[in-house]
Amino acid sequence: MGFLSGKLKGYESEDDLLKLFGHEEPKKPKSKLDPEFRAKYEHNNLVQLARVSAEHEATERIRTRRLKNEPDGFFLNNGGRGYTCGICRRSHNGEDIWWRPDGLRCLDCWRNIQEGVIPVLDLEKEWWEEEHFDKYDVEKRGVKPASIKKLRREGVLIGRDLKDTSGLAYWTVFLVSENEEFLKNNLRKTI
């Protein structure tokens, strides 16, 4: 028979465990700016604007590089909130927003595009004049909501209903190419 002797040492923090296995966090480079100078100007509006602008530019560059592997676009999946779909104008979280260089689309709108309900719309173009418009654009030109429904029933105004996963229509898109006659005859007003 033998006996065993030794010491028991406990570690509580994650940093201590990382040091034990030889992994150290990279040290942040120290700023070359004088701390007093930094404290004085750090909260200046122009400095804040430059910081936000740089963050936005970095995000756009990362997304643009990612397009090399995913040319049709991708879901943001960044946990961000408050992204607005360029088609239906509803607000969504980043997990539900499909990003392309020409604009943001929600999960439902992107699914409708994939199913062929509407074509891929260039969201950089002007809505009314170029490719498509919606009921708010028609209302701005003096047509009442009830009249829009009537014109659709009569076949004068042709719309494509976008449906969510449960099959309910949540938005209608009117393509300029399908409504040229309507645009010529009924809506000569400008805002």
**pLDDT the model gives residue 187:** 57
Structural domain contains residue 76 = yes
Of 111, 82, 113, 86, nearest to 95 by C-alpha is: 82
pLDDT surpassing 70 at residue 60: yes
DSSP assignment, residue 30?
P
19-23, 24-28, 61-65, 116-120: which range is least confident on average? 24-28
Structural domain contains residue 22 = no
> Can you give the residue range of the structural domain that contains 119?
68-186
Task: Report the run of H or E that residue 112 belongs to, with start and end.
Answer: helix 107-114
Quote the mean pLDDT of the chain: 82
Of 132, 128, 155, 73, nearest to 106 by C-alpha is: 73
Q: Are strands 160-163 and 169-175 parallel, antiparallel or unpaired?
A: antiparallel
Our count of domains for the chain comes to 1
Q: Give φ, ψ of 181 to 5 degrees.
A: -65, -45
**pLDDT the model gives residue 190:** 45
Q: Is residue 166 very low, low, confident or very high in pLDDT (cuts 50, 70, 90)?
A: very high
Rounded alpha-carbon distances, angstroms, from residue 82 to 37, 91, 93, 121, 140: 35, 5, 6, 21, 25
Structural domain contains residue 132 = yes
Structural domain contains residue 72 = yes
Q: Are the beta carbons of 138 and 149 closer than 8 angstroms? A: no
Structural domain contains residue 169 = yes
Structural domain contains residue 174 = yes
Structural domain contains residue 29 = no
**pLDDT the model gives residue 54:** 92
What does the pLDDT average to over 6-28?
73
Sign of the Cα torsion 100, 106, 111, 117 reads negative
Structural domain contains residue 130 = yes
Q: Is this model's pTM higher than 0.75 or not? A: no
- Distance, in Å, from the CA atom of 105 to the CA atom of 98, rounded to the nearest integer, reads 5
**pLDDT the model gives residue 26:** 65
pLDDT surpassing 60 at residue 126: no
- Distance, in Å, from the CA atom of 59 to the CA atom of 76, rounded to the nearest integer, reads 11
Q: Which residues pair with 133 in a beta bridge?
A: 174
